[in-house]
Amino acid sequence: MRHSDFWVRMDQQFGRAYARVWAGNHVMAVLGGRTASEALDAGEDPKTVWRAVHETLGLPPSER
């Protein structure tokens, strides 16, 4: 997954503006106590970060 694909999915879930806010503020244990933005900036694979977001939000399997 590319970074752009990750952000498209985030925008679909939260809307463009709030997706960035959520990604920068919501700390996830599954990402080692980092936010999605921090994990991406540290070089984490966007697919791994999306899976963490997916799990945290309890989204249906069809949105994985």
Q: What is the mean pLDDT of the chain?
A: 94
Q: Based on the number of CB atoms within 10 Å of its own CB, is 38 exposed (0-12), middle (13-18) or buried (19 or more)?
A: middle
Q: What is the pLDDT of residue 53?
A: 95
From CA 9, how far away is CA 29, in angstroms rounded?
A: 21
Percent of the chain whose pLDDT exceeds 90: 86
Q: What is the pLDDT of residue 63?
A: 73
Nearest to 6 by CA among 44, 33, 34: 44
pLDDT digit string, tens, across residues 20-34: 999 999 999 999 999
Structure tokens at 17: 């503006």
Nearest to 50 by CA among 37, 42, 16: 37
To the question of pTM greater than 0.85 for the whole model, the response is yes
